[in-house]
Each structure stands twice: as C-alpha cells, then as structure tokens.
Amino acid sequence: MHRRSLFMGVPAALVANLVSSRRGLTSTSALTTPQPLAAPNPLRHGSRIRAVNTGTWIDPRTDFLPLVERCKAEGWQLELPASLHRKWKWFSGTDAERRVDLEAAWSDPRIEAIFYIGAGWGSARVLEAGFNFSRRSLWSIGFSDSCSLLLAQWAAGSRGAIHGSIAGPDAQWQRTVDLLTARSVAPITGRGIIAGIAVGPLVVTNLTVATHLIGTPWFPDLRGTLLVFEDIGEAPYRVDRMLTQWRSVGLFKDVIGLAIGRFNWQGEEEPGDFSMSAIIKERLSDLGVPLVIDLPVGHGQPNLSLPLGANACLDGKNGSLMLLP
C-alpha cells in the first residue's frame, strides 16, 4: 500500500502522536507564543486584494494585466496603487514609505489578501523600520525577499501567509486559488532521502532570507515544525555556510522534518567539490528526521504554493508532502 494512503481519513492529531513520538512532540507543540489566530476566511466573489512592493523597485513597464484578469476571473478586485512604481535607490521607496504602504494594507478592514509584488531586497528593512502586524489573520502571498514578512507574520501568530508565486502557469495559479478559497490541493512530490514520516505545521522560506533573520524578533519558533527551504544564486559553499550556522545555533534540534525545494545556481563546480545536492544531503542527513529534496517549490517553474502554519505530512520514503485537513 502507498504509505501516504495510510493516513487518509485519520485525524491529524492522531497521526502526529503516532509519528512524532521520537521526540515526544505532537504536531501542535510548536509556536505557542503568541497563540496563533484562526485562519482567515476564504476569499469569495468581491474580495479585495492589494498589491504591495516592500522590496526592490520594479520596471515601470511591468504589465499587471494578466494578474488583474486572473483575479477578475475569480471575482476578486485587485488594487494596484501607484506606489508599486515608486523608486528610491534600489528600493521601491524609502523604508518609511514602504512601511506605511504595508501598514495601510494591513489596517484596512476591506482588504482580505496582500500580494507581495517584486522581490530583490528590502522587506526586512520594513520590519526594522517599525512595522508591526495587526492582531488579525490575513492572506499574504510571496516568496524570495518577502519571506521575511511571511516568517514574521507567522511568528506574530497571524495565519494566512503563503509561500508561492502569483505568476506562472495556470496550474500553479489554480493551486494558489484553491488555497485562498479553502479547497484541497494535491500533495507535492520530490525525492526521498531519509525515510520516516513526520506531521506538523509547515514553515516554508528562502534559506538566505531566513538566515539573516536569526536572532531577530521576527524569527519564528521552529519547535515541532516541518521546515522547507529554497534558494537561488547561492553557490554550494555558501549554502554549506548557512546550514552550518543553523546547525551551530541549534535551530534544527526540534524540527521534526526537513524538505528542500529548488536551489538554483548556475556557477561551475570544481572537480572534487560538493555539488549542491551533495552538500545539502551532507549537512542535513544526520539530523535524525525525514528528509526530502527536489520539491517543486521556489524560484523557477513550477513554484507550488505552500501555506505557513498548515498541518502537513512529510514522507521521507516516497518524497511526498501532503497538506492535512
């Protein structure tokens, strides 16, 4: 029998107790300060979404019409403020301006979701500039640089952060729509490296962005979580350096499962050096938890959406990651 099918219809809490006993943790053991809020309401016809750019400035010729049409097809109203095209140095406005943009979106009760537009660098500076999350749950979608905001939102106890892209092929977009409307989505599959099954809340992030949040108030509690990494443009030795930092600080100690998405790097590898997959396996295979690599997550296509905080099951034997009810 396919191992994943063993858990169909079984309550998530029971599965967690069964598969997490190795550490004496259940899937709900993590992130208790502050207590996470309830998930935001599913988007519906007439829901309002605001696009916000907290990172690097974007080309003023960027065509948002395809995204507008996609939202319109779902009955959603996408707001595209003029500030999306603002420019200051390499940012889309000063830190204060970008903080105000984000505060305006979060404080507007009519807004039910935020689309993080753009990438590059800058979102962590908005946090440093004093942005605080309102005590409510709100859908927010992004990846890469905006991972700092996704992690900080989850650390603040707010639900609704989704690691994913609002661009890309129709099937990728449909998965995001399904998550925003509380419909089930298919499991995603990579390559199993270390066998085992773990159940717990997902934390999905860019490795570089998360590494630079270590020690800040915006870094979430990882105890009892399934941790998913992705990255781009980092040489294997840099990935080695970052993973060594995580190991040295002890951040993997109470993580119950690890999964790796896409790590895009186009540089040359010297003969005898670690390849990207080799250094990832060398740094993560001895932690005593299930390990899956090559998930379709991160920079590139497809970049399949995963919600932070969602209860999920990671199967290190068949390489699957499945969201649970």
Record the tokens describing residue 220, joined without a space: 């979430």
Q: Are strands 311-315 and 197-206 parallel, antiparallel or unpaired?
A: antiparallel
Active-site residue identified among 20, 47, 140, 144: 144
Look up 83 and say whether it is catalytic: no
Look up 248 and say whether it is catalytic: no
The answer to whether the bond into 34 is cis (omega within 30° of 0) is yes
Active-site residue identified among 27, 92, 137, 299: 299
Q: Look at the alpha carbons of 305, 310, 314, 318 in this order and tell me if their dihedral is positive or negative.
A: negative
As a whole number of angstroms, the distance between CA 230 and CA 221 comes to 19
Look up 29 and say whether it is catalytic: no
Stretch (H or E) spanning 248: helix 236-249
Record the tokens describing residue 89, joined without a space: 């140095």
Record the tokens describing residue 154, joined without a space: 């989850």
The full DSSP string for 269-313 is --TTSPPHHHHHHHHHTTSSS-EEE--S-SSSS----EETT-EEE
Q: State the number of CA atoms in the 13 A half-sphere of 96 facing the CB.
A: 0
Q: Are 187 and 322 contacting, i.e. CB atoms less than 8 angstroms apart?
A: yes
Active-site residue identified among 230, 234, 305, 320: 230
Catalytic residue annotation: 144, 230, 299
